[in-house]
Amino acid sequence: MKRSPKKISDVRKYFNRYTTPFLEKYEEFIIRKYLKKGSLILDACCGGGRASIPISNMGFYVVGVDIDKKFINFAKKRFVSKNLEFYLADIKFFKYRKKFDACVLLENSLEHIEGSLVEVLMNISRNCKKNSILIVTMHSMFFPFTFMTLILFDLINLFKNPMVFESVHGVKFRIYNPFYIITILRKLGFKLLDVYNMKNSKPRKLPFVIKWFGWYLVLILKKVK
């Protein structure tokens, strides 16, 4: 099917977004604060290595995993390093030769996962050591505009199922209730350490109730079981 120039442009922007190495300010802040240099990090749903490369340059050993063949092939050809590996795999079934010291799900990756989110989180838990750190970024369902949209169009499934949106790039993403995610992770042995609310790429700690109403959340968890 022939794409319009606008669509082609959008696809290029989307591809470039996930293959150009860089970290947001909040990502660098969180990684420096919670992860120890030299740690083995799983970058789940890594795309084309957008975050994997700069994290490895910070002194970590990074394993990037993604189900998209174009992204992984691009990353393997372009980025070669002693402390960086890329695997083409479904994160639901991926198993590494060692347990990880930490796992990152950046760029709201979990919102792009199709199928069973529980299976994905279960396998991530299996791949993580005890006392490992899990960093999850996600949009908050309680952001006022999002919440009102849910009330108006999907009241029945408000707290049960994610709301599916489509970006300008034609990519679908799902907005979850953050407490649903946290509940699953607690059952898998993770303890919530911190929650950050984002504004202009700078992490902010706000009072417990207020922080859930931000547009973008960063969850910091520790595997205690």
Q: Where are the domains of the chain?
A: 5-223
Is the distance from CB of 69 to CB of 92 less than 8 angstroms? no
pLDDT for res 156? 54
pLDDT for res 36? 95
Block mean pLDDT (10 aa), the chain, length 225 = 41 64 90 96 94 96 95 88 94 96 92 86 97 93 63 56 58 79 96 81 58 79 96
Which residue has 């002194």 as its token pair? 59
pLDDT for res 2? 30
For 127-166, letters b (16+ CB in 10 Å) and e give bbeeebbbbbbbbbbbbeebbeebeeeeeeeeeeebbeee
Q: DSSP letter at 113?
A: -
Task: Please report, as a single letter, which amino acid is at residue 37.
Answer: K
**5-223, CATH topology level:** Rossmann fold (3.40.50)
pLDDT for res 22? 87
What's the predicted TM-score (pTM) here? Answer: 0.83
